Structure 1
Amino acid sequence: MKTPKKRWMVIILVLSLIYLIGNSVSIYRNIELLFQHLPEEYINYSNLYSLDDAFSNSTLETDKFKSIYNEQVVWVNDSLIAITVHTKDSLTDKTNVSWYKINLKGELMDSITFRNEYVDNIDSYLINQDKNYYSTWLMDGDVTQKPFRLIEGGKLLEKEEADVYLKDAVYSNSDYFYENRNDFENEKRFKKHVVYKHNEWFQFYTKDDLQLTVNRYYSNSDLEFKDIGELVYFYKKDWYGDHFPDFTLYINGKDPDHWTGTSFLNLKIKDEILKIQHYSKKYVDDSARKMPLDVYEGLNQNFYILKMEIDNGHTFYLIK
């Protein structure tokens, strides 16, 4: 007959075996990490968020643009593209927006900044719907703020009249405006509709409860950015995989088994290779999570635009 002590030893041994078998893959993966080392050839790769250092040791010419928001790079016309950048004004804590025009040789041609204004680009126009103006600066360099044409002198249009102006519009949007605001007894609310149609900008007014179909989701054609970097090495740091026992409910889904570590990327730009490293994941099928970095190649590969996602914004490098 087994003594209580021996019974407990058998139970502990059985549980230990079950634990070891259930976690054999995880144990093996973690032991494997103890025997790896970073090859010397990857020691001097530049961190993704410190690319200024990489370019400082390069013959490539670069211009850097940093935005606090995710931005598009868009075609303006057959000879120009534009980069949009939002920044915080250090003195006023307001948001400024700038546009940079680049020709198809990769040369920075001009720029314009609007301070503490909500200005958007629709087609090749810059518009401010709050202040009721548009600008043709993207097309011709004219900084004049041209007013939207006011329909019917500001008369409130009925639905049938409004639908005529909205029909076939490339872009339209609506917002409320007030008369006698902050005067509770006399305050009145109306709708202002801004419309882009047949290369013309105009606005008209309706009652605030009039429901009209608008086409506010217009966007310019974004340039085609690609992931052209070559992943040459992945340095594994930690293993994350199934373990036993597992009491996790995975309410928000389960990330596949993977390592975390550092991806080492070779990015060929013209005749140079940028060597970049970045914290990343690698899965058991040998695929690695994509770096937050994409590249647009000029038509004749005479210039490049490198786009990086950083926090909630973008950093661009114009490379010649």
Structure 2
Amino acid sequence: MWILIGLVIVVAVFYLIRWKNAGVLERNKVPLDQAYLEFQAINEHYRSNLFKIQRLCTLAMHSASSPQPIRVFQTVKQQLIIDAYPKVDEETKHDYRYYKLDQQGKLIDSIYIKYEGYWPKFIDRFMVFSNERKAYYTTWPLDGDTTRHQFVSLNADFSWPKDKIDQKIRVVKKSGNYYFFSAFRDHGKDFRWMAFYEQQQWYMLWEKMPGYTQVADEDSGYRYRSDVFHTGTPDPVIPEDVRLIHFYPEEKMEYKHVIGGGTLPFSATNWRGKGFFSTDIAGRNFSFKVDQLVVEKEKSDGFKTRLYTLTEPGGAARIYEPAFYRSEHGFALYSGNWDELYIIKLQQ
């Protein structure tokens, strides 16, 4: 009986060791220097007398139609709005989800908008929704109010002469008020309307066009929004404002680089281990670690430091970019991948 139990244990240990070493070509037997034992990964479990970390959002899916799935832009009152791709299934892929941070980095509001055929634009204190024929606005960026206010249509019956339309467009552009254009074709006929804000009201000025009109970037409603940070288009080269102060190799293994775009994957062999980094936040040194890290340096590009993470031997390397947005008000946003966003603040 005891002999049988012993044999089972020996076999189990054998296969456990074999499984653990599958794909690993070599292991580092030199212990980690104690100077790096206190480094922590960036997540909500980070413990420090100086910094505190909060997870702001996590995405469920990525999509080619949304190459920058988390985007951050400035709005009124020195606030930041986070635009987070909400897709969890086919029914939600066109929806919208936003979070609002005040100037101190406090999460003060959020909103989920079901897609109803309208596309949102952020224009200062307004959130403008429009499709080809209709538009409305709310003041959610300013005060959190989601009450819908309809645009007033001008020349909806196309009775205005062209010189009157052109004159109104010139006056609106010269006034410096908010405006943008939209153009579309319907049953072989081409239309354009100009949205503009005047005397506490949004208007739509309609116009028939002799042919299809392409709206220039300088006349687009999206020009009022300027992103200050985004995820989804990472660069493996380490940013200049982040320092890799030590790399501790753990296992040597083979892995793949999957570039996409019709390019075949190619293999590489390197050490995977722990990376220890530092950067500056609010004038203070902030240190952190990254597990399962691969560091590459190639002679062909001047030995630039390129960073990847690798979950298993033989797997595909994932670009790791320690990207930070630093606010002048003393906090920072951080993302190392497309699907997560954290805020880092000084302890009060």
- What TM-score do the two structures reach when normalised by structure 1? 0.63
Gaps of at least 5 residues in structure 1 are 1-32, 179-186, 241-251
CA pair 293-122 structure 1, distance change in 2 beyond 3 A: farther
- 1:48-87 aligned at under 5 Å gives the runs 51-52=42-43, 55-59=44-48, 60-67=52-59, 68=62, 69=66, 70=68, 71-87=70-86
Q: Does 1:155 align with 2:184?
A: no
**Structure 1 letter corresponding to 2:191:** K
Give yes or no for contact 2:184–2:212 (8 Å, CA) kept in 1.
no
- For the residues of structure 2 that align with 1:156 and 1:258, how far apart are their CA atoms? 72
Aligned pair count? 258
Q: How many Å separate the matches in 1 of 2:295 and 2:166?
A: 52
Kept in 1, the 8 Å contact 2:99–2:110? The answer is yes
**1:293 corresponds to 2:322:** yes
Q: What does residue 105 of structure 2 align with?
A: 106
Other-structure match for 1:318:
343
CA positional deviation for 1:218? 0.7
Asked if the contact 2:154/2:203 (under 8 Å) is kept, the reply is yes
Q: 1:243 maps to which residue? A: none
- Bigger Cα displacement from structure 2, 109-118 vs 198-207: 198-207
Aligned residue for 1:195?
A: 195
| 2:241 matches 1:228 | yes
Return closer, same or farther for 1:300/1:133 CA change in 2, 3 Å cut-off: closer
Query: 1:203-218 alignment to 2 at 5 Å?
Result: 203-208=204-209, 209=211, 211=213, 214=216, 215-216=219-220, 218=223
Q: Deviations 1:223-263 (Å, cap 9, x if unpaired)?
A: 379763211235595899xxxxxxxxxxx9xx9x9978667
Note the aligned Cα RMSD (angstroms). Answer: 4.1
The Cα shift of 1:174 comes to 1.6
What amino acid does structure 2 have at the position aligned with 1:122? I
Indicate the residue corresponding to 2:184 in structure 1: 176
CA distance 1:93–1:109, shift in 2 (3 Å):
closer
Paired residues of 1:175 and 1:192 also in contact (CA < 8 A): yes
> Which range is displaced more, 94-103 or 269-278?
269-278
Deviation at 1:211, TM superposition (A): 3.9
**Which of the residues 236, 261, 264 maps onto 2:275?**
264
Deviation at 1:288, TM superposition (A): 0.9
Q: Distance in 2 between matches of 1:37 and 1:287?
A: 27
Structure 1 position 102, deviation (Å): 0.9
Larger CA deviation: 169-178 vs 76-85: 169-178
Q: Distance in 2 between matches of 1:143 and 1:104?
A: 21
Task: Say whether the 8 Å CA contact 1:229–1:266 is kept in structure 2.
Answer: yes
Say if 2:325 and 2:332, in contact at 8 Å, map to a contact too: yes
Pair member with larger Rg: 1
Asked whether the 8 Å contact 1:238–1:259 carries over to 2, the reply is yes
- Structure 2, unmatched stretches of 5+, are 1-24, 231-238, 256-262, 308-319
Is 1:281 paired with 2:308? no
Letter in 1 for 2:184: Y
Give the TM-score normalised by the residue count of structure 2. 0.59
